[in-house]
Amino acid sequence: MTLSVPMIPLTPSFRLDGRRALVTGAGGGIGLAAAAALAEAGAAVTLVARTAATIEAGAAAIRATGATAEAAVLDVTDLPRVTSFFSERPAFNILVNNAGTNRPMPMTEVSEADYDSVLDLNLKAAFFVAQACVIRLLEARDTGSLIHIGSQMGHVGGPNRSLYCASKWALEGMNKAFALDLAASGIRSNTIAPTFIETPLTKPFLADEAFKASVLEKIKLGRVGRVEDLMGAVLYLACDASALVTGTSLVVDGGWTAE
């Protein structure tokens, strides 16, 4: 009796050779980690931030590993410059929309300037950076992956986080609509929603022992996140292994939102 040999499927590649990636807010923390993950997988990565020093150092460190990286100064809230930045370059197949800020305070204390500062960077800039990236992809008739760094606070509320929650919940809705608009063109859009990650942005808050204890009570795995916890998520959403994934959120929160 002859046994038929089953066809074994091959795992889709996690490599990104030949693809171009752009990471905003790449001077440190989550942005630098995302750039490093994409470069390690073979992508040619452009690190973007408002000031040159940090991204140049990060790009140099990535190049020292043998990967491909460059630094480019760009204020993502300067929308005319965003448009020209993308129009002057070949299309990016991967965008990590990471630039963001936070101004924690009671909602009764929020000023219009506070509102504009948070929403203009976390939402408005993310929208128009993605738009400029997509326009170049469509012109090149190429496919791509948009990855927006959201937050668990885009899925739940938090005290003194009205502005941050407003921006991150809006990012989730924006992402789903992007996915629907772009699916026919082979461009995917997803978010990553982390819990509190140890970065320069969160360090002042986590230095408060009472605040840190309240955070750890919510994170069921019992520790604050590290940037390394997000690198695999970024790579997954950028590569062919997630080819059927669009319009969703990859929540990396240690169980915070499970309750």
In the chain (259 residues long), the average pLDDT of successive 10-residue segments reads 82 97 97 98 98 96 98 98 98 98 96 98 98 98 98 96 98 98 98 95 90 96 97 98 98 97
Give yes or no for a contact between 246 and 183, defined as CB atoms under 8 angstroms apart: yes
* C-beta pairs of 100-108 under 8 Å, 24+ apart in sequence: 100/25, 100/126, 100/149, 100/167, 101/201, 102/161, 102/163, 102/164, 102/201, 103/163, 103/164, 104/160, 104/161, 104/164, 104/205, 105/160, 105/163, 106/160, 107/162
What pLDDT is recorded for position 152?
A: 97
* Topology classification of domain 20-258: Rossmann fold (3.40.50)
What pLDDT is recorded for position 6?
A: 86
Q: Which residues are catalytic?
A: 164
pTM, full prediction: 0.96
Listed residue (147, 146, 151) closest to 164, CA to CA: 151
What pLDDT is recorded for position 72?
A: 98
Task: List the domain boundaries for the chain.
Answer: 20-258
